[in-house]
Structure 1
Amino acid sequence: MTTKKTPLPQAPKRRLSWNDPGVRAIIYQGLILGIVGLAVWYLVSNTLYNLAARNISTGFGFVNREAGFAIGESIIPYTPADTYGRAIWVGLINTLRVSVVGIIAATLFGTLLGIARLSKNWLLSRVASAYIEVMRNIPLLLQLFFWYAIITESMPGPRQALHPLPGVFISNRGLKLPSLQGDALDWMVAGLALAIVGIVVIAHWARKRQDATGKIFPLVRVGLALLIALPVAGWLLSGASLTVELPELKGFNFIGGLSMSPEFTALLAGLVMYTSAFVAEVVRSGIQSVNQGQWEAAGAIGLSRARMLRLVILPQALRVIVPPMTSQYLNLTKNSSLAVAIGYPDIVSVVNTTLNQTGQAIEGILIIMAAYLTVSLSISIFMNWYNKRIALVER
């Protein structure tokens, strides 16, 4: 006996009718897209016409021409005979330099402030609260001017420089520190990088081990041992060819050693002081979001307050802390563009000089926008990845 298969019902054919919501939606979207395209075409064509009328060339060919201006601070070699592209690269590196150091310092200082504000010590809690409220309510630009004036006007000259530690000098020319020189430096940096990778791997293993057995691995002691042992091993493998170069006063300034200019020092101080106040509030809110029962349970098994924070409270608070912390990192990076106000040669300052000399204003603004967009998206991608990594997994 054979059974006939019943044909599946076919969907009715859609007719092009204004009464169909889907058709209307397509028409509206097409109209909006057309209007946006016409607006972009008008702006681009009008800009090109005005540039041509004023005999202003367009394009990015200027980046291969000789810059002809000096940059006061550069990690990589640079001379006025280099190209505009090289100068822009120097400005971008300077921006990344102050942003990376600022993010690390603001995170550490802000975390300590947030914990201090929740301290049971009345004086410590009130001092932290006063600092946070003052710093959050003073514009960052004014703070940069304040720190720059403190360094350049209140600090003594190089001959009367403050000398708090051996090889450390503080004057109106900035901060001078000892530096390491020699072939062993590369080996030591490689050892340090290897130690950091090792700590990450061991931390991942220790977390799994603790979840499986309940035993706590002494990660802090092992991590410190690796941070000391591997760079020392690199120093020994290289033949111990390493010297410490101390700053020396020659004439009207110091030579040798590691130098932090007044502009970099003022910008870094302003960014860290300002951003750490916001980071402290993020940390405080994250800690307070953890249920009080977690504190009581941690105390019931005999954990000290410091171990409660490190092992129980902060790992749970991170899920609340990370998303707003991402915004603070982005704000610090974008706020570094205020460096032009105190003369630090970041990418905004360098590109401003470039467009003043070449007249390529549109291209210069596009370069600045692309640089900050790339850096900000990189920070967001990393923080979103980390946020997903620590998120609770639903079962």
Structure 2
Amino acid sequence: MQNQIGTSRSFSLSDPRFRAWLFQIITLVAVVSMGWFLFDNTQTNLQHRGITSGFGFLENSAGFGIAQHLISYTESDTYARVFVIGLLNTLLVSAIGIVFATLLGFILGVARLSSNWMVSKLATVYIETFRNIPPLLQILFWYFAVLLPLPGPRNSLNIADSFFLSNRGLYMPEGHTADGFVAFVVAVLLAIVGTVLMVRWANKRFEATGVPFHKFWAGLAIMVLIPAISVLAFGSPFHWVAPALKGFNFVGGWVMIPELLALTIALTAYTAAFIAEIVRSGIKSVSHGQTEAAHSLGLRNGPTLRKVIIPQALRVIIPPLTSQYLNLAKNSSLAAGIGYPDMVSLFAGTVLNQTGQAIEVIAITMSVYLAISISISLLMNWYNKRIALIER
């Protein structure tokens, strides 16, 4: 009798486990039903309008030019190649922006905590200015107010006779692989392996004897000497072609178009302001007793910050820093405002208008940004686990 009562109660709404399963099943059915409704409604509307679906359009010829492409491209190439070019351009501006925003953000975050009044206030003014102006306005400012008013190629700003800045972009030397390229790559890989082994040996030596080792200078020497020996033995890995003014424009070299410059500067300046506050809060989260203990051991302010404060602050800095990296990658889609050929402007703009394959084009574009964001999150989560403090 008791077993029968227990069994009947297990299917009652008063049982928390039964309610949990019931609500999950209802939610799953609702999500599947909504998905099927949207899919069926989309297919019906496409059939009524005579629009064919599928990804076969990717094999069609694009028929338009692209201002910047990291791989070879002609107007007769397919939409699939246009997709690759848009993806590479998005990754390019995201990678450059993340690197420079991180460096500038860390400098500003530390500067805001400086005991020097002028340095601290300048950092504060920068942070409060750039983080409170929408990124699109900053992109438009750098593009229309700073870069486009620059002089033309004939009167461009000459930097060391190798870099030329004009209203058509930043022209710089372009490297082409030479005979010593393979040997140079092998040398760099050997230098990286040697540096890793040296760091591990130095850490074990420090744990065993307490004697420190200059890992930075030793690693720098390894990373410079081994590739330098490769260059001396097998020749230069690159053949550099400098831009030269011919007629009304430069010929040769590689150009960073004004759209890319404006987008990179704006996203770097905007994101660095937020990273600076993250760094400042991370440093402030470390107990002041850590600084006093380091000073009592004879460490100066610089080594204390690098070896004591920053390593402990990273566990607070990394999670919100990941969010800023994601924001920068997604904000790169604002490139459409100035015509930089990224995924949104090139693929979800021009290709969509020409083909009319709205669902397929938008689905591909959304999938790309989702994949980029997930990749950044996975990489940062892995790094966060590596630096996490391990309690004994």
TM over 0.5: yes
**Residue among 283, 289, 301 paired with 1:287:** 283
1:288-327 mapped onto 2 (5 Å cutoff) = 288-327=284-323
Aligned to 1:66, what secondary structure does the other structure show? coil
| Distance of 2:248 and 2:292 partners within structure 1 | 61
* 8 Å Cα contact 1:287/1:314 also seen in 2: yes
Distance 1:314 1:34, change over 3 A: same
* 1:18 aligned partner: 12
| Distance of 1:55 and 1:246 partners within structure 2 | 53
* 1:278 aligned partner: 274
**Residue among 336, 340, 344 paired with 1:344:** 340
CA RMSD of aligned residues (A): 2.1
- Aligned-pair distance for 1:274? 0.6
Aligned to 1:244, what secondary structure does the other structure show? strand
Aligned to 2:148, what secondary structure does the other structure show? helix
Alpha-carbon displacement from aligned partner over 1:328-368 (angstroms, at most 9, x marks no partner): 11111111111111111111112121111111111111111
Counterpart of 2:371, as a letter, is T
| Distance of 1:170 and 1:11 partners within structure 2 | 85
| Distance of 1:105 and 1:206 partners within structure 2 | 30
* 8 Å Cα contact 2:147/2:262 also seen in 1: no
Query: Which runs of 5 or more residues in structure 1 are unaligned?
Result: 1-9
* 1:6 aligned partner: none
Counterpart of 2:336, as a letter, is V
- Aligned-pair distance for 1:277? 0.6
Distance 1:193 1:119, change over 3 A: farther
- Aligned-pair distance for 1:197? 4.5
1:48 aligns with 2:43: yes
* 2:350 aligned partner: 353
Counterpart of 2:152, as a letter, is G
1:259 aligns with 2:255: yes
Distance 1:19 1:106, change over 3 A: closer
**Residue among 215, 218, 225 paired with 1:229:** 225
1:376 aligns with 2:367: no
Alpha-carbon displacement from aligned partner over 1:116-172 (angstroms, at most 9, x marks no partner): 111111101100110000000000000000111244432111100111323121111
**Residue among 133, 140, 144 paired with 2:139:** 144
More displaced 10-residue stretch of structure 1: 130-139 or 59-68: 59-68
Structure 1 segments, 4+ long, off by >4 Å, are 10-13
Counterpart of 1:393, as a letter, is I
* 8 Å Cα contact 1:151/1:174 also seen in 2: no
Aligned to 2:72, what secondary structure does the other structure show? coil
Q: TM-score, normalised by structure 1?
A: 0.92
**Residue among 173, 183, 205 paired with 2:168:** 173
Aligned to 1:14, what secondary structure does the other structure show? helix
Alpha-carbon displacement from aligned partner over 1:170-199 (angstroms, at most 9, x marks no partner): 111111122333413454355345434443
| Distance of 2:232 and 2:323 partners within structure 1 | 43
Distance 1:186 1:335, change over 3 A: farther
Distance 1:141 1:19, change over 3 A: closer
Q: TM-score, normalised by structure 2?
A: 0.92
More displaced 10-residue stretch of structure 1: 368-377 or 189-198: 189-198
Counterpart of 1:127, as a letter, is L
**Residue among 192, 195, 198 paired with 2:191:** 195
Indicate the percent of aligned positions where both proteins have the same amino acid. 51
* 1:362 aligned partner: 359
* 1:386 aligned partner: 383
* 8 Å Cα contact 1:282/1:321 also seen in 2: yes
* 8 Å Cα contact 1:151/1:262 also seen in 2: no
- Aligned-pair distance for 1:215? 2.3
- Aligned-pair distance for 1:76? 1.1
